[in-house]
């Protein structure tokens, strides 16, 4: 069972950043002997959920009669939206057992576990699994769902801050350079951009560097259009930069207030926002407590990367 959860989490993680406003979810179907029949992940809003995809794959392969156990990273939804309830899809199969990693935080979609249990299926969650890797799997599952859960429960996106410091503790690169970190840190920065639904920066950063904020060092998500939120109280960022951002595939907008900006991004369906800003905006976010993950890169050699998850 632990291996099935690991596979489901791996598949879901591959879709981080591709599914907003939905969460990234993975599902594995097992036979009565615990062998994998099919495995799938949700690909994006409006497309079949992970459970529905895995079930469809089993049908197409003639494996439906062998379905015994459903393992999924998120409690099966119990809601009719653009796609049908996953709880109902599971009940169309001969599955007798369902395991999920994290309960659905969305009150309009939760309740799938209860529906399945009332239908006579054995339902368990990851916390009940007796395995030495359980805590590690729970940590992965919780972090994977955190962007979606933060938007649902707090009304704002999950905020990841990327901060790079030189050996003297300064965020300002030397003259003529836009960065002072090495290849590993640069690749990490682009992975963070890839999974983000929005980039948040300040007018000072835009005016100083005219950053592109594109994903270049890792493959980007096909046809993804990110929001670009620029904190600009004095209206200093001109239309030329905004139009250039649109040409790069962004949906830019200016905001005067951090709280309102995060609220607006959540209303636009953003699960995660990456902050790439200068010292003023970065310190404002630190002091406000409006962050969830802080990625600190210290210039070496070698560069060191520390990731801190906010605990509250």
Active site residues: 51
Q: What is the β-pairing status of strands 227-231 and 97-102?
A: unpaired
DSSP for 77-92, written as a single string: P---SSS--HHHHHHT
φ/ψ of 158, rounded to 5, equals -70, 125
Helices (H) and strands (E) in the chain, counts: 10, 12
CB 267 within 8 A of CB 229: no
Nearest-angstrom CA–CA distance, 44 and 84: 14
- The candidate with the shortest Cα–Cα distance to 106, out of 124, 89, 128, 81, is 81
- By CB atoms closer than 10 A (0-12, 13-18, 19+), residue 173 is middle
- What is residue 174's DSSP assignment? P
Nearest-angstrom CA–CA distance, 121 and 90: 10
Contact residues for 58 (Cβ-Cβ < 8 A; gap 6+) = 29, 37, 38, 64, 66, 67, 93
Length of the chain: 312
């Amino acid at each position: 069972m632990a291996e099935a959860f690991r596979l489901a989490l791996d598949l879901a993680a591959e879709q981080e950043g591709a599914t907003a406003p939905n969460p990234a979810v993975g599902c594995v179907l097992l036979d009565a002997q615990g062998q994998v029949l099919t495995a799938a992940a949700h690909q994006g809003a409006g497309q079949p959920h992970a459970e529905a995809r895995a079930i469809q794959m089993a049908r197409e392969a003639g494996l439906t009669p062998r379905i015994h156990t459903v393992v999924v990273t998120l409690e099966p939804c119990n809601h009719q939206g653009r796609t049908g309830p996953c709880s109902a899809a599971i009940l169309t199969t001969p599955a007798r057992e369902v395991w999920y990693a994290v309960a659905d935080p969305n009150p309009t979609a939760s309740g799938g576990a209860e529906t399945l249990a009332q239908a006579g299926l054995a339902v368990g969650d990851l916390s009940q699994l007796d395995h030495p890797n359980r805590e590690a799997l729970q940590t992965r599952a919780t972090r994977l769902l955190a962007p979606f859960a933060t938007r649902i429960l707090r009304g704002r996106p999950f905020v990841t801050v990327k901060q790079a410091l030189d050996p003297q503790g300064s965020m300002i690169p030397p003259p003529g350079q836009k960065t002072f970190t090495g290849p590993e840190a640069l690749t990490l920065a682009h992975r963070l951009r890839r999974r983000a639904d929005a980039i948040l920066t300040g007018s000072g950063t835009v005016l100083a560097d005219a950053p592109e904020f594109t994903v270049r060092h890792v493959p980007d998500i096909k046809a993804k259009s990110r929001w670009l939120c620029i904190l600009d109280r004095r209206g200093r960022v001109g239309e030329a930069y905004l139009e250039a951002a649109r040409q790069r595939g962004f949906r830019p907008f200016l905001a005067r207030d951090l709280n309102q900006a995060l609220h607006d991004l959540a209303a636009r369906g953003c699960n995660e926002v990456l902050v790439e800003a200068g010292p003023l905006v970065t310190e404002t976010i630190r002091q406000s407590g409006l962050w969830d993950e802080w990625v600190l890169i210290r210039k070496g050699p070698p560069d060191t990367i520390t990731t801190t998850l906010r605990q509250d």
